[in-house]
Amino acid sequence: MRTTNGKIIECKNVWKIYNEGTAAEVRALQGINLEIFEKDFVAIQGVSGSGKSTLLHCIGCLDTPTRGKVYIENEDISKMNEDELALIRREKIGFVFQFFNIISSLTALQNVELPMIFSGLDGTKRKKKARELLEKVGLGGRLKHKPSELSGGEAQRVAIARALANDPILMMADEPTGNLDSSSGKEVINIFNTLNSEGRTVVIITHDPSITKCAKRKIKIKDGKIVG
Ligand SMILES: Nc1ncnc2c1ncn2[C@@H]1O[C@H](COP(=O)(O)OP(=O)(O)OP(=O)(O)O)[C@@H](O)[C@H]1O
Ligand SMILES: [Mg+2]
């Protein structure tokens, strides 16, 4: 058993430099130091291009830093290959995107089942859990709907249910209400709030003042550095 003292994420002097050494070089992250603890609700803010998504991708195992270390539950992920990162993502992280990224040919239920197929859960258990998760996000009446038959807010709630499928220790979202009207946005915010009050760690990039209001911690990024 690893002891983490409740620390879920640690970034130590993390740099992300795109196209390093070329004329197109971008220093997207410049020496980020950050700790995120169990049950945190962190809002990441900053202007467009400041490095928010890059940071979320580095701590969410969607990308690795150019330099520095990222630890998830004390495990160094900075030098992992794509297969190793995929495994950590599947086991530990639920990711929600601005444009939902759910699969248009699958029903709501099948979309939520998908991560559980990859992790090898049998059909009956998988369907039961997918149904429960969709009920949890208020979509018990939409199990058989395809994404084109759902509103934006409903599609995003399917994405949240899918992100929860493998019981992640960490829920991350990049502008989850950025593409929603205010009332659908509120429903999505309420779900993240509930998840956090149930003990789930939440990290959200947002410009939405109603999300930042719910957050226990706010982190501001400017030019790839944490400035507050
Ligand atoms: N794959 C990439 N290759 C090269 N440069 C990139 C790449 N991804 C991002 N960048 C650059 O890195 C910087 C940080 O980008 P990032 O997407 O992290 O910003 P952001 O804060 O999420 O912005 P937004 O609010 O617009 O989503 C930007 O200058 C961007 O142009
Ligand atoms: Mg972004």
pLDDT tens for 9-61 read 999 999 999 999 999 999 999 999 999 999 999 999 999 999 999 999 999 99
Rounded Cα distance between 2 and 177, Å, is 35
Cα-to-centroid distance, 108 and ligand 1 (Å): 31
Cα-to-centroid distance, 53 and ligand 1 (Å): 7
Whole-number pLDDT of residue 3:
54
Contact between 172 and 59 under an 8 Å Cβ cutoff? The reply is: yes
pLDDT tens for 85-136 read 999 999 999 999 999 999 999 999 999 999 999 889 999 999 999 999 999 9
- Give the gyration radius of the chain's Cα atoms: 17
Domains in the chain: boundaries: 7-220
Rounded Cα distance between 211 and 186, Å, is 9
pLDDT mean over 148-152: 96
Determine whether 55 is exposed, middle or buried from the number of CB atoms within 10 Å of its CB (0-12, 13-18, 19+): buried
Whole-number pLDDT of residue 4:
64
Q: How far is CA 174 from CA 51, 52, 71, 144, in A?
A: 12, 8, 20, 27
**Atom 24 of ligand 1: nearest residue by CA position:** 48
Rounded Cα distance between 11 and 14, Å, is 6
> Half-sphere exposure of 221 toward its Cβ, with a 13 Å CA cutoff?
28
Rounded Cα distance between 81 and 172, Å, is 21
Tokens 């410049």 found at: 30
Cα-to-centroid distance, 194 and ligand 1 (Å): 30
Rounded Cα distance between 228 and 225, Å, is 9
Cα-to-centroid distance, 24 and ligand 1 (Å): 13
2 pLDDT more than 70: no
pLDDT tens for 194-217 read 999 999 999 999 988 888 888 999
Whole-number pLDDT of residue 214:
87
Q: How far is CA 26 from CA 6, 142, 147, 176, 223, in A?
A: 34, 43, 36, 26, 10
Q: How far is CA 41 from CA 61, 84, 215, in A?
A: 19, 26, 5
Could you tell me the two tokens for 77?
């992920």
Nearest to 72 by CA among 140, 12, 118: 12
Whole-number pLDDT of residue 5:
73
Indicate the pTM of the whole model.
0.94
pLDDT mean over 148-166: 97
For residue 1, name the pLDDT band (cuts at 50, 70, 90): very low
Rounded Cα distance between 15 and 45, Å, is 18
For residue 205, give the ligand 1 atom closest to its CA. Answer: 22
For residue 16, give the ligand 1 atom closest to its CA. Answer: 12
Q: How many residues does the chain have?
A: 228
Pocket of ligand 1 (CB under 6 A): 18-19, 26, 28, 46, 48-54
DSSP H helices in 71-208: 82-92, 108-118, 123-136, 152-164, 182-197
For residue 228, name the pLDDT band (cuts at 50, 70, 90): confident
- The CATH class of 7-220 is alpha beta
Residue 130 has phi, psi (to 5 degrees) of -60, -40
